[in-house]
Amino acid sequence: MNDRVCVVTGGNAGIGRAIVEALAQQQARVVLVSRDKMRGETAVQEIHSALPQANIDLVVGDLSSVDKTRQLAQTLLNRYPAIHLLVNNAGVWPTQKQLNEDGLEMGFMVNHLAPFMLNQLLQERLRASAPARIVNVSAGLYVNGRVDLQKTPYGHDFHPIRTYASTKLCNLLCLPLEAAQLAGSGVTINAVHPGVINTKLGIMRGPLGWLMKLVKRSWATPEQGAIVPVWLATAPELAEVNGRYFNEKEETPLAEVAQNTELATQLWQLSLDLTQITAAIS
Ligand SMILES: NC(=O)c1ccc[n+]([C@@H]2O[C@H](COP(=O)([O-])OP(=O)(O)OC[C@H]3O[C@@H](n4cnc5c(N)ncnc54)[C@H](OP(=O)(O)O)[C@@H]3O)[C@@H](O)[C@H]2O)c1
């Protein structure tokens, strides 16, 4: 990975931070994207003190709205003439309904629309830097998702588990279309369920939050959660693998719920409309 430019969203915490560390250990030039400058700086400093030769840049970028995500893409395009890897890791598990400035449900925005946008807006740069890869950090819970295009994007019928699952399902519905768009370009896209990992994802306030923190102690570490995303990002044997879903290290066919081509095409179009991006499905 010598000097290859690797962008990791949500790189300041949890699995993302462990991905940054692992890529830095492989001599990559890692672009740690954090929505909060201080949290990002702290992460960079801590990684540097353990790994002094690490080559890490901090880019502050928020994925909570269409405009902010576009700004992040523009910053990356301005700063990096080549981008070889994009890890769409940032994610949220909202425990209550929250709409962003576009009127979109926050999980839909951060978990689906933002990676969809980055994949489109950085695509030309990735193609020009090929061989290049995109890794989407997904979630096995997608099988519990139910996508209704009139409701899911806007948080109608919000449910703390089903809505999170549905936003991850949205992203996976688009995976075959994105893979087809990239076919033959030297850029691949794959998705991964990283395992059940002890991070701050989905922690709520109050007594239930404490209980959850206790339960999470028995879960795998962020470093363990980073293993398969980093493998997908770097393994030479996966150079040609495109459009696949990995449940941890096992390549797994997408469940039927994620194979609805008609729904996927409608979601693709809606995602373009919501973001004012033009991108054809090949
Ligand atoms: N943990 C698990 O068991 C598990 C299982 C399956 C899938 N996943 C997926 O793994 C990915 C990483 O999650 P994690 O478990 O490592 O959770 P985490 O520790 O909460 O980390 C999430 C990262 O995303 C960032 N983020 C959240 N909202 C953002 C926004 N609006 N703009 C930019 N960045 C934002 C967070 O930034 P802040 O630090 O500023 O909040 C943080 O860096 C997520 O996509 C998640 O859905 C996790």
Ligand 1 centroid vs 146 CA: distance in angstroms?
21
Ligand 1 centroid vs 90 CA: distance in angstroms?
4
Could you tell me the CA-to-CA distances from 29 to 11, 25, 60, 68 in Å, in that order? 13, 10, 16, 24
- Taking each helix axis as running N to C, give the angle between helix 261-275 and helix 66-79, from 0 to 180 degrees, rounded to the nearest 10: 80
The Cα–Cα gap between 106 and 113 comes to 10
Lowest mean pLDDT among 162-166, 183-187, 218-222: 218-222
Is a pLDDT exceeding 80 seen at residue 208? Answer: no
Largest CA distance in the chain: 52
Dihedral sign, Cα of residue 232, residue 238, residue 240, residue 244: negative
pLDDT confidence tier of residue 131, bands split at 50, 70 and 90: very high
Percent of the chain past pLDDT 90, that is, above it, reads 89
Give the mean pLDDT of the chain: 95
Of 80, 142, 164, 245, which one is the catalytic site residue?
Answer: 164
Is a pLDDT exceeding 80 seen at residue 280? Answer: no
The Cα–Cα gap between 110 and 87 comes to 14
pLDDT the model gives residue 204: 72
Report the pLDDT averaged over residues 149-174: 97
Whether 243 and 81 have beta carbons less than 8 Å apart is answered as: no
pLDDT the model gives residue 74: 98
Return the DSSP state at 260: -
User: Is 164 assigned a catalytic role?
Assistant: yes
What type of residue sits at position 160?
Answer: P
Lowest mean pLDDT among 14-18, 115-119, 213-217: 213-217
Contact residues for 156 (Cβ-Cβ < 8 A; gap 6+): 148, 150
pLDDT confidence tier of residue 101, bands split at 50, 70 and 90: very high
Q: Domain-by-domain residue ranges, the chain? A: 5-275
Q: What is the DSSP string of 216-244?
A: HTTSBPHHHHHHHHHHHHH-GGGTT--S-
What type of residue sits at position 262?
Answer: E
Is a pLDDT exceeding 60 seen at residue 282? Answer: no
The per-residue pLDDT for range 251-261, each reduced to its tens digit, is 999 999 999 99
Ligand 1 centroid vs 184 CA: distance in angstroms?
31
Pick the CATH number of 5-275 from 3.20.20.80, 3.40.50.720, 3.40.309.10, 3.30.56.10: 3.40.50.720
Report the pLDDT averaged over residues 131-149: 98
The residue behind tokens 């709520």 is 204
Report the pLDDT averaged over residues 11-23: 98
Which residues sit with their C-beta closer than 6 Å to ligand 1?
A: 9-10, 12-16, 35-36, 39, 62-64, 89-92, 110, 137, 139, 193-194, 196-197, 199-201
pLDDT confidence tier of residue 88, bands split at 50, 70 and 90: very high
Lowest mean pLDDT among 16-25, 92-101, 196-205: 196-205
